[in-house]
Amino acid sequence: NMQRQAVPLLKTEAPYVGTGVEASVAKYSGSSVVSKADGVVEYADAKKIVVKNAKGKDTYYLTEFERSNDETCLNQTPIVRAGDKVKRGEVIADGPSTNQGELALGKNMVVAFMTFDGYNYEDAVILNERLVKDDAFTSIHLQHYEIDCRDTKLGPEEITRDIPNVSEEARKNLDKNGIIKIGTEVKENDILVGKVTPKGVQELSSEEKLLHAIFGEKTREVRDTSLRVPHGTYGIVHDIKVYTKENSDELGAGVSKIVRVYIVQKRKIQVGDKMSGRHGNKGVVSLVLPEEDMPYLPDGRPVDIMLNPMGVPSRMNLGQLLELHLGMAAKNLGVYTATPVFDGASVEEILDMMKEAGIDDDGKVQLINGRTGEPFENRVSVGVMYMLKLHHMVDDKLHARSTGPYSLVTQQPLGGKAQFGGQRFGEMEVWALYAYGAAHVLQEMLTVKSDDVVGRVKVYEALVKGNNISQAGMPEAFRVMIKEFQALGLDIQFIDKEDKIHDLKELEDVEDKEENAISIDEIDAKTLEMMNEVNERKLAKKNQDSVKPSEDEFEEEVEEFDIEDEEDEEIDDLEADFESEEDIIEDLKEMDGEE
C-alpha cells in the first residue's frame, strides 16, 4: 500500500534487499521501453532509440517530461548505447522509478534505531542534511491550470494583455496575446493568462463621463477574470497548450478557446514530508540535522536516518530489523540479494552473511554523538534500509487564511485548502474552551471569527484603524436556526436580557436592499386594480363601441405603479388591451422575476 504512494525520484537506486520480482514488475509495468526483436542499437539519445534487426529498423520514441495523473513527472532514459546487442523482450530504456530495468522506488539509507532529544517521538523521522544537499529524495512535480473563453449573453470573453486596473509590473511576463512566457518563474497570485469578461452596462462615473466627453469613446465595460497562480503554489512555466475551434480541437458548447499552463516544481525533502520503509513503518520528517551533528559510526560515516525503536515492538513488524541487518551485510559485500516473499532468507542465512561481512551477531554498533564527540551509553542497531518518499508532501498541505470566501447560507468560512477555507473549530474544541473557562476566546470563535456578518467587518475596520474592538453581534447561525423553526410552523421570539422583544428584521442588515422594491401584497392589489380596469374597458367597449385608449393614456396609468427603473422599458412595451387575466399575470412575472 505504501509502495504505490511512492514518488518517482530524480535519481533512482535499486534496493540491496529485493524480492526477486523487481525486474518483472519494471518490465511489465508499461513504463519501461522493451525491445520488440533481437538486434543491434544503431542510435540512442534522450529522445529516441533506433534498433537495427533482421527485418529492418525499429525506432522507439521516449517520453520526456510528461505529467502523470498524480502530478509527478514521467521520464524515460535510455540504458543502452550505440553498438549494444539487445534481445527480444530486453529493457532498453528506464521509466520513472526504475533503474537498469529493475523497480527502484526509493533509496538505500544507513538507518539507526535510536531516540534523539524526543525529535523522533511518535514515528517521526530524523534526516541527515546531506540527503537534502545531494538531492537524494528530490522529485519533480508538474501541475496544470486551465482557463476557457466562453460566449456570454453580454458578449464573448477575450484572452488579452489589456486587463483593466492591472499594473504593467504585474503584466511584464505576459506575451502580446496575454499568455505567460515559457520559462518564467511564478509565485502565488501571478497572472498566467489575462482574460476579460464583458459586464452589464453601468451608470458612468464622473471621470468616465469626462473621458467620454474628451475622447468621444466609451470605457470598456469589462472585468478582470484572469487565470492566476493559486495560493501556496510556485514553480517555473514549463509548457503552454492552446486549444481553439480553428485548429479543430474538441471544445464544449459555448467555449471558443482553452489555454492550459503547465508549472513544474523541484521539491527537495523537508520537514513535514512523509516517508516510509517497506514494512508499513511510515513517519513524518521532524528534523533535518546538519551532517556534523548526526551520530556517526566508528569509521567516521554519519548515519542518514534515525528511527524510533518504539515503532517496532508493539507493531511486531520485525521484517524491518532483518532487512536492516541483511542490507548492511549486502552493502559491505557489494552484492544485491533476493529474498522472495514465502521463501525468504532465514535468520541463520542472514547471520552467516553478516559474519562474512564482518558485522557483529547482534547487528549493533557503538555510535558516537556528533555534537559532543562522546560515545553513546548503549550500542545501537545500525544497518541499511530501503526508504521511500511518499506522495503526502507538506507543500500540498500547508495552508493559512486571513479573510476569504464564506458559505452563502450559514455565512461561515468555507472549509479546505482548495476553497481557501478556514480551520474547523468543532463541537469538541468548543468543549475544550468551556473547560478552560476561556469565555472571550470562545465568543470570538463563535461570532467575529465565524458568522457574525456585521461584527467581523467592524473588527477588521477596528484593527486597520487601531481602535478598540467592539462587542460581538448576533451570529448568522442563530438566524438560520430561527428560520428553520419558522419553517416548522413555530413562532420564535427573540427577547434580550432587558425583556425587550426584538423583531428579527430589525437586526438584519438593510443597507443593500432597495427602498422602492414592490411587496407581494402591493403587486396583488395592483393586479386586481389592473384587471378591474381592463374589465371595465371591455364592458365599455361592448356597450358604447368605444375606441381603445391611446398609448399616452396607457403609459400615464402604468407610471402610477412604483416599479424599479430597470423595468420601465419593459412596461412601455405592454399593450393596452389585455387578452385575459393570465396575460396580465404573465407580464407582471416578466416585470419582476423574483416576486
CATH number of the domain to which 235 belongs: 2.40.50.150
Residues in the chain: 595
Do 546 and 433 lie in one domain? The reply is no
Decide if 558 is inside a domain.
Answer: yes
- The confidence score (pLDDT) of residue 566 equals 44
Do 419 and 338 lie in one domain? The reply is no
- The confidence score (pLDDT) of residue 579 equals 47
Per-residue pLDDT reduced to its tens digit, 285-331: 999 999 999 999 999 999 999 999 999 999 999 999 999 999 999 99
Decide if 362 is inside a domain.
Answer: yes
**Contact between residue 180 and residue 237 where contact means Cβ atoms under 8 Å apart:** yes
Residue 209 has pLDDT above 90, yes or no: no
Distance in angstroms (rounded) separating the CA atoms of residues 164 and 169: 13
- Mean pLDDT value across the chain: 86
Distance in angstroms (rounded) separating the CA atoms of residues 21 and 3: 14
Instruction: Over range 563-583, report the average pLDDT.
Output: 47
Q: According to DSSP H, which parts of 195-343 are helical?
A: 206-215, 319-333
**Gyration radius (Cα) of the chain, Å:** 36
Do 285 and 237 lie in one domain? The reply is no
* pLDDT confidence tier of residue 519, bands split at 50, 70 and 90: very low
Residue type, 328: M
Instruction: Over range 562-584, report the average pLDDT.
Output: 47
Grid coordinates of 591: 416585470
Q: Which helix (H) or strand (E) holds 48?
A: strand 48-53
> Which domain does 571 fall in, by range?
520-591
- The confidence score (pLDDT) of residue 593 equals 57
Distance in angstroms (rounded) separating the CA atoms of residues 236 and 64: 17
Decide if 397 is inside a domain.
Answer: no
Do 243 and 284 lie in one domain? The reply is no
- The confidence score (pLDDT) of residue 565 equals 45
Do 307 and 347 lie in one domain? The reply is yes
Q: State the CATH number of the domain containing residue 319.
A: 2.40.270.10
Do 303 and 383 lie in one domain? The reply is yes
Do 380 and 302 lie in one domain? The reply is yes
Do 132 and 275 lie in one domain? The reply is yes
- The confidence score (pLDDT) of residue 332 equals 96
DSSP summary character for residue 293: G
Instruction: Over range 182-197, report the average pLDDT.
Output: 94
pLDDT > 70: what percent of the chain?
A: 84
Look at 219 and 439; give whichever has higher pLDDT. 439
Decide if 395 is inside a domain.
Answer: no
Q: According to DSSP H, which parts of 279-405 are helical?
A: 319-333, 347-356, 394-397
* pLDDT confidence tier of residue 211, bands split at 50, 70 and 90: confident
Decide if 445 is inside a domain.
Answer: yes
Q: State the CATH number of the domain containing residue 38.
A: 2.40.50.100
Q: According to DSSP H, which parts of 237-384 are helical?
A: 319-333, 347-356
Per-residue pLDDT reduced to its tens digit, 97-124: 999 999 999 999 999 999 999 999 999 9
Residue 571 has pLDDT above 50, yes or no: no
DSSP summary character for residue 68: P
Distance, CA of 22 to chain centre: 34
Look at 514 and 49; give whichever has higher pLDDT. 49
Residue type, 298: P
Distance in angstroms (rounded) separating the CA atoms of residues 544 and 114: 109
Domain end, chosen from 512, 533, 562, is at 512
**Contact between residue 174 and residue 194 where contact means Cβ atoms under 8 Å apart:** yes
Decide if 555 is inside a domain.
Answer: yes
Residue 472 has pLDDT above 90, yes or no: no
Half-sphere exposure of 76 (CA within 13 A, CB side): 21
Domain end, chosen from 240, 267, 294, is at 267
Distance in angstroms (rounded) separating the CA atoms of residues 530 and 584: 8
Grid coordinates of 217: 469613446
Lowest mean pLDDT among 198-202, 318-322, 410-414: 198-202
Distances, alpha carbon 250 to alpha carbons 150, 257, 315, in Å: 14, 10, 53
Domain end, chosen from 103, 127, 151, is at 103
- DSSP, collapsed to helix, strand or coil, labels residue 502 as strand
**Nearest Cα to 237, choosing from 159, 160, 144, 163?**
144
Distance in angstroms (rounded) separating the CA atoms of residues 584 and 535: 12
Do 55 and 92 lie in one domain? The reply is yes
Distances, alpha carbon 134 to alpha carbons 7, 74, 130, in Å: 17, 21, 6
Do 583 and 490 lie in one domain? The reply is no
Residue 427 has pLDDT above 90, yes or no: yes
Decide if 18 is inside a domain.
Answer: yes
Do 193 and 236 lie in one domain? The reply is yes
- The confidence score (pLDDT) of residue 73 equals 93
Distance in angstroms (rounded) separating the CA atoms of residues 193 and 210: 31
Count of structural domains within the chain? 5
- The confidence score (pLDDT) of residue 376 equals 96
Per-residue pLDDT reduced to its tens digit, 534-568: 677 777 766 765 444 455 544 444 444 444 444 44
**Contact between residue 87 and residue 55 where contact means Cβ atoms under 8 Å apart:** no
Q: Nearest 5°: CA angle at 426, between 425 and 430? A: 85
Do 226 and 290 lie in one domain? The reply is no
Decide if 2 is inside a domain.
Answer: no
Per-residue pLDDT reduced to its tens digit, 44-78: 999 999 999 999 999 999 999 999 999 999 999 99
